[in-house]
Structure 1
Amino acid sequence: MERVNMVKSVSRALDIINIVSMKKTGCGVTEIANQIDINKSSVYRILTTLEKYGYIEQDLDSEKYKLGYQFLDISSRLLESIDLRTEAKPFLEELESQTNEVIHLVVYDEGEVVYLEKMEGTETLRMHSKVGRRAPMHCTAVGKVILSYLPDTKVLEVIDTKGLPKHTDRTIVDPALFLEELKKVRQQGYALDLEENENGITCIGAPIFDNTENVVAAFSISGTTMRMTEERLAELKVTIIDVGKKISMRLGSRQSQVV
């Protein structure tokens, strides 16, 4: 690791924190010293300092050191400061640049999706979507992907209150078929809108998870059905799942590390 322009004592303290964090049962002074190649007295002084500020604590029975609860306080403040739109935007801009298609970011609200972000791309495409506007869940890729990760009771509540109104000839209007569709979406990790909301427009959407592993948003790539062929959708599904994992990681999700 490059140490130029770094404070050695701070660097060592961070190395120690990293080592201690890797073991649930904690680490002893000798074990830590052997891993970072500094003497035990130096390790002990650093541990004592970290303990004073709550970042490290010692188990009185085993005499091993573990992470302190100060990290929980800091992490909770970090999570509270995270803004979904801000964290997602760089990834969505890159996705727009790669695909040249319309990119949407939405959140769930009272049985519908609300558009937080829309990037127009460079290809010609007219859509009804607009930041702040609402859209149905049952016939949009973003709506379906959010519903697929919500509890069954919530899904049934949305169907009961909002219904499955027909937007095009391809809209799924049968509740049983729609529930099967949601099961498929969850298994594959993405959703498709095959001209189910607007004629001539095909979309592919993926979920975004937060630190509690709950779905908090979804995003999609939208293009004309002529451009969004089966072959292209097969390529885009890999990309969109990967981007979803990266955004989720920024929000504290661990699912992003699971393939």
Structure 2
Amino acid sequence: MPTSSAASASATDAAKPASASGGVQSLERAFDLLERMADAGGEVGLSELSASSGLPLPTIHRLMRTLVACGYVRQQSNRRYALGPRLIRLGESASRLLGTWARPYLARLVEETGETANMALLDGDEVVYVAQVPSKHSMRMFTEVGRRVLPHSTGVGKALLVDAPPGEVRALLARTGMPAATEKTITTPDGFLEALELVRGAGYAVDDNEQEMGVRCLAVPVPNSPTPAAISISGPAGRVTETATERIVPILQEVARDLSEALASTAAAHQQG
């Protein structure tokens, strides 16, 4: 019977040793399930979670029941489970915090390149800007923090998707469509995948008048970021020339590496605390 199975699973879990990390095993498992749900697109069945995590069904059912009660997961009418609305508030707060941590690095980019610096994350199928430090030039680019754009027309979008499997990229583009923001916007999946191949080869992404005419952006991913993140500079095409690109890209890459190390150090400090 379900009741006796759950009771048996609970007794088995209670008898297990504490987590190797010294933490609470049930919490680690719950967060692992949430991450697996996110990786699967936000909606899964219990059998899928059991197959991917290796946990027995009764244990997963008990953890999911708790997550549902807390609002972090909801059960659909088809009995599958989806990420719940309470995660939105956590995600928004985490995005703002990540943007706050990034601001000193963006300020350094502005000092060393002279152009507006941005940080963006991939949120679902969209790119969201979480931080910006404006250029000191009277003619400068401005993107409102919190603004959402589609990945196919931006440098940060290319940087964020550069390592994604081609099938996932095609699926994302099919969901969003590829509307033309300008006459230079890439509007076909094949064209976008070719652009990602160029990004992999060059080590940086370019938005060459693709989101807005007269504006050129250079972007790189933040390596090993806890969530896909990219930083960029944007400025008038007349200033962000090919010659300027050769000077700016190494600065972008160095700042991205330094930001990555800072985020890793912060995460390690929190774990020790």
TM band (smaller chain): 0.5 to 0.7
Quote the residue 2:215 is aligned against: 201
Quote the residue 1:173 is aligned against: 187
Tell me, yes or no, if the aligned pair for 1:201 and 1:223 is still in contact at 8 Å. Answer: yes
Deviations 1:184-223 (A, max 9, x none): 1123221000001000000000101336xx7621111001
Deviation at 1:123, TM superposition (A): 1.4
Quote the residue 1:147 is aligned against: 161
Runs (5+) with no aligned partner, structure 1: 1-68, 254-259
Question: Does residue 228 in structure 1 map to residue 235 in structure 2?
Answer: no
SS in 2 for 1:171: coil
Task: Tell me, in whole angstroms, the C-alpha distance in 2 between the residues paired with 1:235 and 1:72.
Answer: 46
| Structure 1 runs, 4 residues or longer, greater than 4 Å off | 69-73
For 1:249, the aligned partner's letter is E
SS in 2 for 1:242: helix
Quote the residue 1:29 is aligned against: none
The correspondence for 2:147, drawn from 117, 133, 142, is 133
Tell me, yes or no, if the aligned pair for 1:200 and 1:224 is still in contact at 8 Å. Answer: yes
Question: Does residue 101 in structure 1 map to residue 124 in structure 2?
Answer: no
For 2:136, the aligned partner's letter is T
Deviation at 1:131, TM superposition (A): 0.7
- For residues 230-245 of structure 1, the aligned pairs below 5 Å read 230-245=242-257
Deviations 1:11-67 (A, max 9, x none): xxxxxxxxxxxxxxxxxxxxxxxxxxxxxxxxxxxxxxxxxxxxxxxxxxxxxxxxx
For 1:165, the aligned partner's letter is P
Quote the residue 1:192 is aligned against: 206
Deviations 1:136-159 (A, max 9, x none): 211111011101122333211211
Tell me, yes or no, if the aligned pair for 2:116 and 2:140 is still in contact at 8 Å. Answer: no
Deviation at 1:128, TM superposition (A): 6.1
Tell me, yes or no, if the aligned pair for 2:141 and 2:234 is still in contact at 8 Å. Answer: no
Alpha carbons of structure 1 residues 239 and 126: separation in structure 2 relative to 1, 3 Å: closer
Task: Tell me, in whole angstroms, the C-alpha distance in 1 between the residues paired with 2:158 and 2:149.
Answer: 11
CA RMSD, 1 decimal = 2.7
Task: Tell me, in whole angstroms, the C-alpha distance in 1 between the residues paired with 2:172 and 2:211.
Answer: 17
Tell me, yes or no, if the aligned pair for 2:116 and 2:141 is still in contact at 8 Å. Answer: no
Task: Tell me, in whole angstroms, the C-alpha distance in 2 between the residues paired with 1:154 and 1:185.
Answer: 17
Runs (5+) with no aligned partner, structure 2: 1-19, 29-93, 266-273
Normalising by structure 2, report the TM-score: 0.59
Tell me, yes or no, if the aligned pair for 2:103 and 2:133 is still in contact at 8 Å. Answer: no
Quote the residue 2:264 is aligned against: 252
Task: Tell me, in whole angstroms, the C-alpha distance in 1 between the residues paired with 2:104 and 2:140.
Answer: 24
Task: Tell me, in whole angstroms, the C-alpha distance in 1 between the residues paired with 2:214 and 2:259.
Answer: 29
Normalising by structure 1, report the TM-score: 0.62
- For residues 5-84 of structure 1, the aligned pairs below 5 Å read 83-84=97-98
SS in 1 for 2:228: strand
Stretch deviating more after TM superposition (105-114 or 169-178)? 169-178
Stretch deviating more after TM superposition (116-125 or 244-253)? 244-253
Give the number of equivalent residue pairs.
Answer: 179
Deviation at 1:235, TM superposition (A): 1.1
Task: Tell me, in whole angstroms, the C-alpha distance in 2 between the residues paired with 1:237 and 1:222.
Answer: 12
Tell me, yes or no, if the aligned pair for 2:153 and 2:186 is still in contact at 8 Å. Answer: yes
